[in-house]
Amino acid sequence: MFKQAVLPQVTWLKLPEKVKQAGWLNVLGKISLPLIGLCIFLMIWGGVAQNIDTSLGKFPGPTDVWQQAGNLISEHNAERERASAFYERQEKRNQARLEADPSYQPKIRPYTGSPTFFDQIWTSLYTVFVGFVVASVVAIPLGILCGLSQPVYTAVNPLIQLFKPVSPLAWLPLVTMIVSAVYVSENPIFAKSFLTSAFTVALCCLWPTLINTAVGVSSIPSDLVNVSRVLRLNALTHVIKIVLPSSFPMIFTGLRLSLGIGWMVLIAAEMLAQNPGLGKFVWDEFQNGSSESLARIMVAVLVIGMIGFALDRLMLLLQRKISWDKSVVLR
């Protein structure tokens, strides 16, 4: 038995050297190849853009887009300054009134400027997060139930198959009407438009997580299930100790798919429903129809892409952080 203990160590020692040799080329390739790809893309874009004439002028090339990105940032800063100036003025006015009349109750009215590009980004991120969390909270337990019990799965499966392919845009009018009908309150905590967007996102986020969880749970190796049976684990312990860890990778794959879909759906929903967010920004710019609009829309497109990518990476990091299986290659 001591021989066994030594053997694997010897192979472990040899491994890092191989990795070192291949390492240099790898790192170089990992940095330079994406850069080359990016350069080629920018060149083609710039070349093609010059030759497309639209009713709003030439299609924006990389430099126009870069410029508009700068504009959007300075517009945002300007708006912020205006806002703080507005509050300062109120403060001063209140102070003056208080000095004249000590019984005066100071009031501060909120600033009602139009939301900037960055405000819209923030709104979208917040909405997608809420929709995603709501969907996950429903989908994971339901998926576990479906995976554990064949009858439940058989009952739920037709519904899943029916609703999974439905486009978010079909849900949107229904969700809008339901939210306006059901959510009536004197001083609402959430805006109706926010709820509509978030629920539409949730409805579309539900399915990948649900299906992946169900499949992950139902494909737990039968030996592990037998271990649980021999130990007579109760249902809760069985789920916590065996089911969740075992189906964790599948659940997470589902979550990542869901978040990706949710982000795509949200932009479309915001455009269609005129709900605040990046989608509305794109739509407003399109309606605006100035010579800069296309470049500004292009900025939004790139930002949407980058945020989608960042969200996916974030999920990946999270998965790596909590997964027990560190050796698995995550893509």
Partner 1 sequence: MNKSHLELSQVGMDFPTPNGNFCALENVNLKINEGEFISLIGHSGCGKSTVLNVVAGLLKATKGGVILENKEVDEPGPERAVVFQNHSLLPWLTVYQNVELAVKQTQKKTTKAQRQQWVMHNLELVHMTHAKDKLPSEISGGMKQRVGIARALAMQPKVLLMDEPFGALDALTRAHLQDSVMEIHATLKNTVIMITHDVDEAVLLSDRIVMMTNGPNATIGEILDVNLARPRARIALADDQAYNHCRHAVLQFLYEKQRKVETVNQVNNKKSSIDQQAAELPVKASTDAA
Interface contacts to partner 1, rule CB under 8 A: 1, 3-5, 7-8, 221, 223-224, 226-227, 229-233, 237, 241-242, 245-246, 248, 324-325, 327
Q: CB nearer to partner 1: give 224 or 316.
A: 224
CA distance 168 to 202: 10
Nearest Cα residue to 204 out of 144, 127, 151: 127
CB of 246 vs partner 1, minimal distance in Å: 8
User: Residue 130 or 217: which CB sits closer to partner 1?
Assistant: 217
Tokens 């920018």 correspond to what residue? 42
Residue with Cβ nearer partner 1 (88 or 325): 325
Pairing verdict, β 53-54 and 57-58? antiparallel
Q: Which of 266, 150, 293, 278 is nearest to 198 (CA)?
A: 266
Residue 244 neighbours by CB under 8 Å, 6+ apart: 144, 251
Asked if residue 127 lies in contact with residue 192, where contact means CB atoms within 8 angstroms, the answer is no
| Residue among 233 and 301 whose Cβ is closer to partner 1 | 233
- What's the closest the beta carbon of residue 36 comes to partner 1, in angstroms? 37
Minimum CB separation from partner 1 for residue 227, in Å? 6
In the complex with partner 1, which residue's Cβ is closer, 229 or 313? 229
10 or 189: whose CB is closer to partner 1? 10
**CB of residue 248 to partner 1, shortest distance in Å:** 8
By the 10 Å C-beta count (0-12 exposed, 13-18 middle, 19+ buried), 224 is classed as middle
235 vs 238: CA distance, rounded Å: 5
The minimum distance between CB 1 and partner 1, in angstroms, equals 5
CB of 323 to partner 1, least distance (A): 9
CB distance 207 to 265 below 8 Å? no
Which C-beta is closer to partner 1: that of 7 or that of 40? 7
Q: What is the DSSP letter of 57?
A: E
Contact criterion met (CB below 8 Å) for 72 and 116: yes
Measured from the CB of residue 2, what is the shortest distance to partner 1 in angstroms?
A: 9
Length of the chain: 331
